[in-house]
């Protein structure tokens, strides 16, 4: 396992569309482990492979209910609309109000090449949409209704 360097906003790497993973092997499992370790180290609730410099369709999420790993995730259903505050490991100290679907259903492969389907709401649904946006080369600051400095905001 290794902690990886987080790619920050401004890097062209975060604007690229990630490539689907064609073979789920030990290199992919190692990448997922390294992404998870990096996410926990920097206290994120989600991380996408482009954020560690790998333009591949893999995300790791943990909103406090255990680690979820998604390879080649695709949102197949969306329901409702809700606005809430988001941040991102690649955009330090900036937060923004982002409209997202309230509930999503996502299909993906796990690290053992098993096809999975998950329906989510709340923070998990938001996080899934945020991470999949990274795979499309999109950051929350590209779609936020408003952004602000987090540290100032937290003093309120």
Choose the catalytic residue: 37, 107, 131, 152: 131
When the beta carbons of 56 and 88 are compared against Co ion, the nearer one is: 88
Smallest gap from Cβ 140 to Co ion, in A, equals 6
Name the residue among 17, 18, 34 with its Cα closest to residue 69: 34
Contact yes or no for 125/3 (Cβ under 8 A): no
Residue of the chain from 14, 36, 88, 98 that contacts Co ion (CB under 5 A): 88
Q: Is 14 among the residues that bind Co ion (CB under 5 A)?
A: no
When the beta carbons of 117 and 149 are compared against Co ion, the nearer one is: 149
Name the CA radius of gyration of the chain, rounded.
Answer: 15
The secondary structure of residue 51, as a DSSP letter, is G
Tell me the residue nearest to Co ion as measured from the CB.
Answer: 88
When the beta carbons of 7 and 28 are compared against Co ion, the nearer one is: 7
Confirm whether 43 is a catalytic residue. no
Q: Exposed (0-12), middle (13-18) or buried (19+): which is 120, by Cβ within 10 Å?
A: buried
d(CA 141, CA 121): 22
Q: Is 49 among the residues that bind Co ion (CB under 5 A)?
A: no
Q: Give me the residues that bind Co ion (CB under 5 A), please.
A: 88
Q: Which residues are catalytic?
A: 131
């Amino acid at each position: 396992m290794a902690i990886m360097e987080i790619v920050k906003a401004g890097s062209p790497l975060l604007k690229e569309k990630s490539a689907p993973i064609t073979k789920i092997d030990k290199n992919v499992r190692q990448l997922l482990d390294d992404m998870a370790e990096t996410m926990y180290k920097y206290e994120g609730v989600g991380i996408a492979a482009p954020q560690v410099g790998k333009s591949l369709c893999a995300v790791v999420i943990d909103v406090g209910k255990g680690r979820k790993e998604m390879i080649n995730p695709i949102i197949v259903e969306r329901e409702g609309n809700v606005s809430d505050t988001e941040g991102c490991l690649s955009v330090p100290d900036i937060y923004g109000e982002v409209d997202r679907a309230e509930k999503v259903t996502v299909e993906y492969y796990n690290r053992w090449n098993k096809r999975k389907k998950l329906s989510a709401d709340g923070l998990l649904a938001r996080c899934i949409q945020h991470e999949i946006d990274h795979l499309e080369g999109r950051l929350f600051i590209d779609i936020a209704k408003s952004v602000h400095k987090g540290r100032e905001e937290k003093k309120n």
